[in-house]
Amino acid sequence: MTNYEVMFIIDPILEDDKKEATVETVQQIINADGEVSKVDVWGLRKLAYPIQKKNEGYYVVVEFKASPSLPKELDRRLKISDNVMRHMIINKDEK
């Protein structure tokens, strides 16, 4: 299993329960074929540049271990999610 990290920015206008549901959904996707090591919720932060005419976003970082096929599926699911504004998946084992 390979170590990965995903950071995603959730739309700040969503209610708190929908933000938590989005984080739960990401964890469920990961737990289907891997295991979550750590979930770090940064909360509401100012963006470096406007995304979808918004200047703030709700940041979440999740560290996990999974097979190499899981990041492709996670990337696909985050791209079609309306709640996630941006995301980035990093392989922590590569240097």
Q: Whole-model pTM?
A: 0.89
Mean pLDDT by 10 residues, the chain (95 residues): 94 94 94 92 94 94 93 94 94 81
Closest of 11, 26, 4 to residue 85, by C-alpha: 11
Domains of the chain: 2-91 (3.30.70.60)
- The predicted pLDDT at position 95 comes to 62
Q: Could you tell me if 46 and 56 are in contact, meaning their C-beta atoms sit under 8 angstroms apart?
A: yes
